[in-house]
Structure 1
Amino acid sequence: MKKIVFLSLMFTGFCAFSQIGTRLPSAQIGDSKWTFGGYAGLGGAFGSGGGGTTLYITPRFGYKVTEDFEAGIAGNFSWSNSRYYSSTMVGVGPFANYYFSRSFFLSGMFQEYFINQKDKVNDVKYSGNESALYLGGGYMQRLGERTYMQIGGMYNVLYNRDKSVFAGGFIPHVGIVYGL
């Protein structure tokens, strides 16, 4: 059971982390303080190992409190299904980003996850919730007038290896941000 959960979460994480995210442009013309966007990913493993499909969506809605500080709410939805295992996770919580020198950023995000998993081989089900407090940061490279590439990572400081459904506490990320 633990091997299946570990492999499925690793697969989900790999698919999620390998995607490029985009913060969508403001809905208003001009210098709006609202930011909208998120990340999305779709992955699959095919072959004799059981195959599988993973979908990952993380919308976020923020407000630029100052030119360098953004706060808002983020959500996420991930769904995985294979011959041996299925999982659905929904998370929601606040986030804050501080940008300095338009080259670096610090980030914090709290997520409350609601989890449903099923081991199809042993017919074992799990439903529960887990809290995560991610702290991290990274580097931003300017790509255009209002477009940046972000490379960084976050660590869940509440991660407990013995109690968590997640395979690890560290989350690397790469994304494209528009509208900063």
Structure 2
Amino acid sequence: METPVQNNSRWTFGGGVGFGFGSNSYFNLSAAPRVGYMLTNDLEGGVLGSVSWQKSNAYSSTMFGVGPFLNYYIARTFFISANYQHYFINYKDKIYDFNAKTNEDALYLGGGYMQRIGNNSYLQLGLMYNVLWKENSSIFSSGLAPSIGFVVGL
């Protein structure tokens, strides 16, 4: 029988990477460092930052984002997640040859699977959906966002 590890700190640290593909040669690569605090044994809240690079046949952009998140852990095997991001976007339109700076909000809801990789460390594999996404007014080509992340401190 394995003895549980006593973790005296309620702080968690980690991050993730994400990627996306879509029509018109769309590609997105992102990184998202995060710091959290265990509000209960299964509920974590914190702050998530992000940097993202996107390109397609029609445009390219660089984005920086920041916002809060909540994760609910189910038996340290699955998680349900919500996070809000406010993005600051530098955008270049390749067809009409102009640059723009804009902002966009995203509210990602989803969840996924967790695999223990150490005493209090986990690999998280998930799928999120931006419920604020609108096809004709968003810089994102899709509302779906797969993610791979790590968290230490659970």
Same fold by TM-score greater than 0.5: yes
In terms of fraction of residues, the more helix-rich structure is: 1
Query: What's the Cα RMSD here?
Result: 2.7
Corresponding position: 1:36 with 2:52: no
Deviation per residue, 1:122-156 (Å, 9 max, x gap): 42222211111111111112233222222221101
Higher relative contact order (CA 8 A, sep 6+): 2
- With over 3 angstroms needed to count, the CA separation of the structure-2 counterparts of 1:175 and 1:74, relative to structure 1, is closer
Q: 3-state DSSP class of the match of 1:58?
A: strand
1:36 partner amino acid: F
Q: Which runs of 5+ in 1 are unaligned?
A: 1-29, 42-53
Percent identity over paired residues? 55
Question: Aligned partners of 2:60 and 2:146: how far apart in 1?
Answer: 24
Q: Give the number of aligned pairs.
A: 141
Alpha-carbon distance change, 55 to 175 in structure 1, aligned in 2, over 3 angstroms: closer
Q: Which amino acid aligns with 1:32?
A: S
- Check if 1:138 corresponds to 2:115: no
**In structure 2, do the counterparts of structure 1 residues 87 and 164 end up closer, same or farther at CA, with 3 Å as the change threshold?**
same
- 2:140 is matched with which residue: 166, 169, 173? 166
Match of 2:69 among 83, 95, 102: 95
Q: Does 1:72 align with 2:31?
A: no
List per-residue Cα deviations over 1:1-32 (Å, max 9, x = no partner). xxxxxxxxxxxxxxxxxxxxxxxxxxxxx521
State the SS of the aligned residue for 1:165: coil
Structure 2 stretches of 5 or more lacking a match?
1-6, 19-27
Q: Residue 76 of structure 2 aligns to a residue in which SS? A: coil
Change (3 A) 1:166 1:81: closer
Shift of 1:104: 1.0
Between the aligned partners of 1:72 and 1:32, the Cα distance in structure 2 is: 14
Q: Which residue of 2 is the match for residue 153 of structure 1?
A: 127
CA distance in 2, matches of 1:75, 1:176: 14
